[in-house]
Amino acid sequence: MHPFSLFRLWLVQIRYALTRELAFRANFFAWVIVELSWFVLQLAFVGVVYHHVDRIAGWSRNEMIVLVSTNQLIQQIFTAFLMPGLTKLPELVRTGKLDFVLLKPVPPQFLVSTAQLEIGPLANAGIAAWVTGMGLHALGIVPTVASLVAYLLLLMTGLLVHYALLLFLVSLTFWIVQAESVLLGYYSIFQVARLPREAALGWFRVLFTFALPLLLVANIPAATLLRGMEPGPMALFLLTSLSATLFASLFFHQGLRRYQSASS
Amino acid sequence: MISTLRALPTVFSIGLQRQLAYRWNYLLRALFSAMPLLVSWVFWQAVFQTKETVGAYTLPGLLTYYAVLLIVEAVSSPADDDFQISREIREGMLNPILLRPLPYGLYRFFLFLAGRCAYFTAALLPVVICFYLLSRAIPLELGNLDLLRGLPALLGSALLQFSLTLCLSLTSFWFLDISALIFLVYSLEFLAGGHVFPLDLLPAPIFAVARLLPFAYEYWFPTASLCGTLSQEAWQAGLCLQFGWALAFLVLAHFIWQAGLRKYTAAGG
């Protein structure tokens, strides 16, 4: 299918999902508050730790706030556009409703990934962007246009890592009947992304830099704002993110072969 | 009364069978639950690079806290009991349960117990492996474990978490979807419960307030009791508050249930 057609289909799906979301406005505000409370929790943790120390792995308090809020920004964009669809996959497989996806003349991975939308997280992404700005302001840093553009591109690259991990985890549902725990797994594993890269050593650093680049997801964009562009780490980030996405996509298609439709 | 008591082992058995029907899901959950410990290890190692102690904690002491927290969580945290109760109310599945001579709270408590037993069994191996690997890198202070004080606090934590879950879930009589409420309380439990960091790392005035709230007795108090870091007076006062909160939530759940039943409409079987 032509990429432009897929883009148009995605816009139609967004419009449909938006209409559905706006039918439950109270739910929208409730979820904004819930997601915000989890962000406050992360900032409170930073506050408590820096109550006892001045720097962690070379990162000051305000630099850490930029790191944590950048991570939140990526996660909220992911939660808005891609996560809701992916988390529905275990249910689609268990109930056999994946049949309806497979019958459509569109790549199933695309349909599964983009079928749902949540607008609440976008409000929280705005708050995270504001906190990032506040952190930079406190540090007296005014980013250049080039570093801002690079930051935005790196955010997109970070989305790929989120996507790869969750696509891999939800694809386990083709082997495991009830795989609701994968969401817990996603949130547990992604705690790594909030760590300063310099804090990780040994096998942990190698694993989460080269195999699953979680240590790069928020670190590279945040470091670009704080310390300027570093072509080497940026290229590594792009390469590992694309590899992880490709691997997850292959795993999804491998799982799809095992799927037995409800009617067969 | 006798028939109610005789039914309880059957409820427990049904609960176990329900949980074990999805063993892989359970095993995955247990495996993932060890991830925060690994992240804590990496993070706190970096924090302790420039300091010997943070608050009253050394690095081994702090990691022992996080390791013991894994056990507390496995034993006392409800899994998806809140969503199950909410679904039973919303989808009218209460009807057959209401016809039985068995109080609903007791019925749910035995399902909760079965869930905890199954999960603890599944989590045992990953937790032991975690303890082993971590103790090879850091000398965990497991010799200081105080089971005499820790076990009652662990029991109180399970009772408190169950009663709070029951109160929250029973609001489904009035609300169509309570998942936002549940996740909001989760975040409070994580922050004010000592799940993200030990509460005694908080500045003293905030810690004093946190100790009055029920959340502190869900994770921090049982973990600190097991680690043996509480004085006798602090433990006794904490235990009284813990069971006091649990009792208060059980009474509240009773009133919510009574009010909810007046609103509940049973249709069909």
pLDDT digits (tens, 9 = 90+) for B30-67: 778 788 888 999 999 999 988 889 988 999 999 999 99
Q: Tell me: the pLDDT tens digits for A220-243?
A: 999 999 999 899 999 999 999 999
Would you call A49 and B202 a contact, using CB atoms and an 8 Å cutoff? no
The reply to whether A111 falls in a domain is yes
Least confident of A15-19, A33-37, B58-62, B136-140: A15-19
Cα(A180)–Cα(A157) distance, rounded to whole angstroms? 26
Q: What is the DSSP letter of A208?
A: I
ipTM of the complex: 0.88
DSSP string, A54-122: SEETTEEHHHHHHHHHHHHHHHHHHHHHTHHHHHTHHHHHHHTTHHHHHTSSS-HHHHHHHS---SHHH
Interface test with A, best of B45, B69, B187, B202 (most A CBs within 10 A): B187
The reply to whether B269 falls in a domain is no
One-letter amino acid identity for A188? S
Residue range of the domain that includes B137: 2-263
Residue A40: partners with Cβ closer than 8 Å, 6 or more residues away: B187, B191
Q: Hey, how many other C-beta atoms are within 10 angstroms of the C-beta on A251?
A: 17
The predicted pLDDT at position B1 comes to 64
The reply to whether A264 falls in a domain is no
The reply to whether A45 falls in a domain is yes
Would you call A181 and B28 a contact, using CB atoms and an 8 Å cutoff? yes
All residues of chain B having their beta carbon less than 8 Å from the beta carbon of residue A184 are 29, 32-33
Residues in B whose CB is inside 8 Å of some CB of A read 21-22, 24-26, 28-29, 31-33, 35-36, 38-39, 42-43, 45-47, 49-51, 54-55, 80, 177, 180-181, 183-184, 187-188, 190-191, 196-197, 201-203
- Count up the domains in chain A and report the number: 1
Cα(A232)–Cα(A74) distance, rounded to whole angstroms? 21
- Count up the domains in chain B and report the number: 1
pLDDT of residue A246 exceeding 90:
yes
The reply to whether B168 falls in a domain is yes
Interface test with A, best of B28, B80, B84 (most A CBs within 10 A): B28
- Mean of the per-residue pLDDT values of chain B: 88
The reply to whether A126 falls in a domain is yes
pLDDT of residue A64 exceeding 70:
yes
Q: What is the mean pLDDT of residues A159-168?
A: 95
Residue range of the domain that includes A10: 3-258
All residues of chain B having their beta carbon less than 8 Å from the beta carbon of residue A44 are 191, 196
DSSP 3-state of B58:
coil
Would you call A51 and B35 a contact, using CB atoms and an 8 Å cutoff? no
All residues of chain B having their beta carbon less than 8 Å from the beta carbon of residue A52 are 47, 51, 54-55, 201
One-letter amino acid identity for A208? F
- The Cα-based distances of A256 to A125, A170, B112 in angstroms read 33, 12, 35
One-letter amino acid identity for B35? M
The reply to whether B83 falls in a domain is yes
The reply to whether A212 falls in a domain is yes
The reply to whether A263 falls in a domain is no
pLDDT of residue B169 exceeding 70:
yes
